Structure 1
Amino acid sequence: MTKTCFVTLAVTTIDVPAARDSAHPAAKIVAAIAMLVAKRDDAGDWSFTLERRAIGAGTGEDALMAWATPLMPEAGTVIGWQLADRVVAPLIDAATIGDAEIGRDFLDRLMVLVTSPSIDLAIGHGGAGAPDLAIVCADRHIALYSQSAGHIASAWSFGELRPLTNQVSCEAIAVWQLWLAESNGHASAASDAFADWLASQIF
């Protein structure tokens, strides 16, 4: 049985300032990744999985890359918000600064996905100049749990992973809901199935 697959990607990043002695430049660290995978079979039935993981300060991004690689579908339509800048670019950077084998395996899988059909929902709202995702979601009555950059950075610094996984999971869910909401009525079956699935989840 064949399946149509959609992969909503979201990341949470931490901005680390440059060291005072200039030994280490400013960096953007990927602290959490979420993948919401939606599949529709030939009968029109939908299934959903939400994979998410976070790391704290002192844990290399390789841990996220190694975790994500086998979980990424080999094919599917990728959905995201400001996909190139806010999602793909930080992931590429993370994959190129750590273990070469882990990074290569991750990039091979990521590039297959993002060079397949992809949907950047921000394009319809101004692309790089789009308003904050939370504002767009609010206009569609989509709840988006969002924490301040300071709160996220603090959680990462002290190894408190729950706020990080909550943040990235909620963004992936909100982006998927936004895509459904903007489908002009063509995604009613997917919307109903997702609502049922979401109601059964405990995050």
Structure 2
Amino acid sequence: MIEVPVSLPHHAPRRRDGAYIWTTWLSPLLAGDATCAWAVWFKAHYTYTKLSTFDASAWQAEHQPLLLATRNALEADDFTVLTENQNKFVLRSGEITLAGKPDLVAVRGSRILVVDCKSGTARPAHRAQILTYMAALPYTHPEWKECEVEGLLQYRDGAATVGASELNTTFRSLLHSTVHLVGGPEAPPRRPSIIECRFCDISHADCPEREEDLPDTVVSGHDLF
């Protein structure tokens, strides 16, 4: 059953000083899991009253054991492991800030492994998220610039590696253009759809084009098949 976001008392959005982009907002656009760049632009430029059904306690109950087990396994394999807040990065260029916080960064010699633990189903956005971390961290840790930086997505039923070769010029160009799209002063067009709006925390008060959860239109009496 799909939960519909709950409305809270609405307050007028407040413009930020510059654009602040969190990596997890960006990754669905990078991967093609989402198409509404306006939603990310709005999050980057405003603080606002959010719709939410997110159960932080339930998420933490699933995520934390997976994170701890992954960290223990890496430490048993002689990695030095940095955890969550130790890994937060903030990169700024002009009026645009990109920030993120990988779950784990494991270091062993010249090998750097950027790890994110996912308790849900694998999605293309997860790879884009890890690749963004892999691109950003050598700027905040200059000592890693000459190291081999790889990624690992740890799921409950297995793991997926993200090779250093995936962080290529194509992805870097996409990351650059997408950051400037959602971080720039001009809002991109809204692209509302029931599937994306259903999981979006921007209310109808702030996005009048938001589509609510309506049943699919079923057409009969056609001659297509």
* TM-score (norm: length of structure 2): 0.26
When the two structures are superposed, what TM-score results if normalisation uses the length of structure 1?
0.27
Q: Which has the higher helix share?
A: 1
